Amino acid sequence: MNSIQKIKIIREWVYLGIAIVTSIFLILFNDSSFNNSLSTIGLDAFSVLSYDFFSLREKASLEEDIVLLKQKLVIATHDKKLYEESFEENIRLKNLLSIELPDSVSYVYAKVTGKPASSLQNTLLINAGTEKNVVDGEMVISVDGFIGVIKIAGKHMSKVALISDPGNKIPVITGTGKIPGIMRSLDQRTAEIHEITKSQIVEIGEQIFTSDFSKLYHQNLLIGEVVSVSDSSATINKQVIIEYSADFLEIKDVFIIHNNKE
């Protein structure tokens, strides 16, 4: 290559460089609509690229936050349920402990675990037995009063014979007139009080309690309320019908009344 050709090539590169510098200068310092359009297109392209990158990263972060919030919500719901159950249980236990009994007895707390498979709605199973000094024949109370006695005490579980068992004969006394009688169950909700003469006054709505006529039962434990009184029987006694204060299907917590040994 001779010197003339080299000079031409150099001159063309110089012209190209001058053209590039001039173009950049015009783009940067020109306020024309075309230049503004180019700038807008560039900005839009950059914003799309940056939006996609940052939005994807933000979306992943939001998904993680949503998962954590769902986990916290499940835990909070579970804790709320446990708190409500504990609160209700505390109220029931306070009501149970408000029943006044002699200092010679103590309470054994238990939960109702169900009914025996062969039960005719007159027994309950509770999760307390001989390991907690529970023995046959001890009285069982709920928040609503006297509900039955321990029929069979196992090591960890016991069977409770409810007062609704037709075979029971329980000595009772009326709350107002202190009139004694004998209670016999009619069904799961009602019972009849015998041995109350027609000359004695018993009012509807009067409460019925256990009496100390028999050493098997502690006195002044609520059993139910009088719902019907009639003098029409052929005997000298009134026909007194009571309704149990406890709903045996809804009982959850009980106390066994344990006689302390001297």
DSSP string of 6-38, one letter each residue? HHHHHHHHHHHHHHHHHHHHHHHH---HHHHHH
Task: Name 230's bridge partners.
Answer: 239
Q: What is the pLDDT averaged over residues 220-240?
A: 89
Three-state secondary structure along 65-89? HHHHHHHHHHHHHHHHHHHHHHHHH
Within this chain, domains 105-164+252-259 and 170-244 share the same CATH topology: yes
**Is pLDDT above 90 for 30?**
no
Confidence of residue 213 (pLDDT cuts 50, 70, 90): confident
What pLDDT is stored for residue 22 in this prediction? 67
CATH architecture of 170-244: Beta Barrel (2.40)
**Is pLDDT above 60 for 157?**
yes
pTM: 0.60
What pLDDT is stored for residue 216 in this prediction? 79
- CA torsion 115-116-117-120 (nearest 10°) is -80
Confidence of residue 39 (pLDDT cuts 50, 70, 90): low
What pLDDT is stored for residue 262 in this prediction? 43
Q: Position 105: which residue type?
A: V
Phi and psi at residue 118, to the nearest 5°? -95, 10
Q: What is the pLDDT averaged over residues 75-88?
A: 63
Spans of all domains in the chain: 105-164+252-259, 170-244
Q: How far apart are CA 226 and CA 259, in angstroms?
A: 30
Q: Do the Cβ atoms of 227 and 85 come closer than 8 Å? A: no
pLDDT digits (tens, 9 = 90+) for 164-196: 988 889 999 999 889 999 999 999 899 999 999
**Is pLDDT above 50 for 261?**
yes
- CA torsion 67-73-74-80 (nearest 10°) is 170
Task: Name 107's bridge partners.
Answer: 257
Residues constituting the chain: 262
**Is pLDDT above 50 for 238?**
yes
Q: Do the Cβ atoms of 110 and 126 come closer than 8 Å? A: yes
Confidence of residue 151 (pLDDT cuts 50, 70, 90): very high
**Is pLDDT above 90 for 240?**
yes
Q: How far apart are CA 99 and CA 96, in angstroms?
A: 6
Q: Position 159: which residue type?
A: K
Q: What is the pLDDT averaged over residues 121-127?
A: 88
How far lies 53's CA from each of 43, 66, 241, in Å? Answer: 15, 20, 81
CATH class of 105-164+252-259: mainly beta
Q: Do the Cβ atoms of 182 and 194 come closer than 8 Å? A: yes
Q: What is the residue-averaged pLDDT of the chain?
A: 78
Which one has a higher pLDDT value, 108 or 33?
108
| Percent over 70 (pLDDT), the chain | 66
**Based on C-alpha coordinates, what's the Rg of the chain?**
44
Token digits for 7? 């000079």
